[in-house]
Amino acid sequence: MAELVRCRYVTGVLAEIEVEELNEFVTPGAALEQRLVKVNGRLYLRKYVSRAAGRRNPRLYDLLRNEIRAGARLGQVFPDRYPAELPRLVAYNIDAEEPFALLREYAGSPAAEHVARFDDVQRRRFESGLLRALHLTAQAGVVHGAVSMDSVRWDDGTVHLVDFESSERVGEPRRACRSAVRSPEQTAGTGVVDERDDLWGAALLIRRLHIGDARQERGRDPQRLRELLDPVFDNPVDRRPLVADLLGRLHTDAHLPPHVDPEAQLAAGRALFDRACARKRAPAAPPTREPVRSPVVPADGHGKRVFHYVAAAVLLCALIIGAVVLI
């Protein structure tokens, strides 16, 4: 049965759409409720917070908000050629009684179902695809926040990074959260979010892909793996390599699809706003004084008489002063 719902597209346009619910959908990296739905004959994934779930765990609203913020930002940065490695947010309604996010149907299946059968070529493709996904999110200033086997899907050689419920934005204060896949800085919640935060979880996942046993001491890892991952594990976040650096070590193309900078698009309007604010803050100019002007003598006969009287008085004063000086 179709339901008419109000939503806002990622482009900002308000709309009403008919959503036909199909069946429940589960991904290991999601805490939110999910259902496969059909809109205009196409399959989508609906992530939402039901009334009952929201009462039990109000934190779910924050997780949905994180998913929407990340998806909206990625949609702004990659409006034309959206990367296949990332989930695509289509529409959302955060103000509904049961708020939701509508995403394109996820491709592939959980990576955990495949990695045990990977050969060397597939392992290389997996690690390159994972780092490429993080290269794309870094370009958008988005940090996934929970990179692990649970948040990755595999689709015939393509890696898909999904479930951005723990995501943060670069430059914002880190949120403290205890998790085995988060970096020490993320776990402690110190400093501000850095695009290299996700490298810690990615390095753990790549190591697990090759070693299998995370308890093994890193000193026993293959030389190639140590050269790739030691700079991540052995350095604080501000000294870790960038994702592009790791892609270079793997001889993987770090080329990005066409993208835009949403902040640059707003630069002209912000500059105009700043100038207007500066004018309002500027001190008021002192009032200008009218220059002192000599009295204008009327041109009529009365004026002439006044002039004569004044001249005579001046002459008389001069004679008196002269007489006094002479005395």
The pLDDT of residue 311 is above 60:
no
What is the pLDDT at residue 179?
Answer: 84
Strand, helix or coil at 104?
strand
Query: Are 127 and 260 in a shared domain?
Result: yes
**Secondary structure element (H or E) that encloses residue 228, with its range:** helix 223-233
Give tens-digit pLDDT for 263-292.
Answer: 776 555 556 666 766 776 666 556 666 555
Is the model more confident about 1 or about 64?
A: 64
In this prediction, residue 263 carries a pLDDT of: 78
Does 290 map to a domain? no
Average pLDDT, the chain: 86
Banded model confidence at residue 62, pLDDT cuts 50, 70, 90: very high
Winning range, highest mean pLDDT, from 68-77, 206-215, 265-274, 304-313? 68-77
What does the pLDDT read at residue 319?
Answer: 42
- The amino acid present at 256, given as its one-letter code, is L
Q: How far apart are CA 75 and CA 263, in angstroms?
A: 14
250, 265, 280: which is the final residue of a domain?
265
pTM across the whole model: 0.80
Same domain, 80 and 188: no
Determine the pLDDT at residue 128: 96
Q: Is residue 325 in some structural domain?
A: no
**Which single residue is written with the structure tokens 């935060």?**
197
For residue 139, the SS3 value is helix
3-class SS of residue 155: strand
- Picking from 93, 103, 5, the residue whose alpha carbon sits closest to that of residue 49 is 93
* Confidence at 213, pLDDT banded by 50, 70, 90: confident
pLDDT of residue 324: 35
pLDDT value at residue 288: 61
Per the structure, the count of domains in the chain is 2
Domain residues for the domain of 192 are 110-265
d(CA 70, CA 53): 22
Whether 20 and 161 map to the same domain: the answer is no
Q: Is residue 256 part of a domain?
A: yes
Interval 10-35 mean pLDDT: 95
Secondary element (H or E) of residue 110: strand 109-110
> Do 126 and 257 lie in a common domain?
yes
Given a contact cutoff of 8 angstroms between Cβ atoms, the answer to whether 147 and 160 are in contact is: no
> Predicted confidence band at 212 (pLDDT cuts at 50, 70, 90)?
confident
**Token duo for residue 299:** 């041109």
C-beta separation of 221 from 211 below 8 A: yes
pLDDT of residue 71: 98
What is the average per-residue pLDDT within 215-227?
A: 90
Q: Which of 209, 236, 265 is the last residue of a domain?
A: 265
What pLDDT digit, counting tens, does each position of 88-136 carry? 999 999 999 999 999 999 999 999 999 999 999 999 999 999 999 999 9
How much is the pLDDT for 74?
A: 97
Mean pLDDT on 318-322: 42
Angle subtended by helix axes 59-77 and 120-139, to nearest 10: 90
pLDDT surpassing 70 at residue 158: yes
- Residue 236: pLDDT over 70: yes
The reply to whether 21 and 79 lie within a common domain is yes
Please state, in angstroms and rounded to a whole number, the distance separating the CA atoms of residues 160 and 87.
Answer: 7
Residues 6 or more apart whose CB falls under 8 angstroms from that of 279 comprise none
For 104, phi and psi rounded to 5 degrees?
A: -60, 145
In a domain, 81, yes or no: yes
Same domain for 167 and 245, yes or no, is yes
* pLDDT at residue number 29: 95
Average pLDDT value for residue range 219-235: 94
CA–CA gap between residue 45 and residue 26 (Å, rounded)? 10
Identify the domain boundary among 217, 240, 265: 265
Run of H or E including 18: strand 14-24
Asked if residue 116 and residue 75 are part of one domain, the reply reads no
CB-based burial, 120-149: b 16+ in 10 Å, e otherwise: eeeeebbbbbbbbbbbbbbbbbbbbbbbbb
